[in-house]
Amino acid sequence: MIELKEIEKLEELSRIEMTLDEKKELQKDFESILDYVSEIQGVVTDLNDSSKQPLDPLHNVMREDNNANEEGLYTDRILKSAPKNEKGYIKVKKIL
């Protein structure tokens, strides 16, 4: 169980002021949080067990880019729609 002096240390480190009631409330919250973390750690340990292999091994889900556009296919239309262009590039304001 987390003690009030530990809550006070956290209060000091985080530079916040808390009433005694708030500290007690936080103490209760910490208990439930720590219990939940312990529960999660048990699950993660089970997943790391080498005797348990996943049913579907991981694989790359990215698709092949077979429908790539022809180079320069839309360049002229894009340049014509831009307010300013120069030497095949869209010209924009310098922003610093």
Ordered by start, the domain boundaries in the chain are: 4-47
- Candidates 7, 5, 6; CA nearest to 25 is 7
For residue 96, the one-letter residue type is L
Determine how many CB atoms are found less than 10 A away from the CB of residue 21: 8
Q: What is the pTM of this model?
A: 0.41
Q: DSSP character for 55?
A: S
Residue-wise pLDDT tens digits, 61-83: 787 777 777 788 888 899 999 99
Residue-wise pLDDT tens digits, 40-52: 887 755 555 555 5
Fold of 4-47: Histone, subunit A (1.10.20)
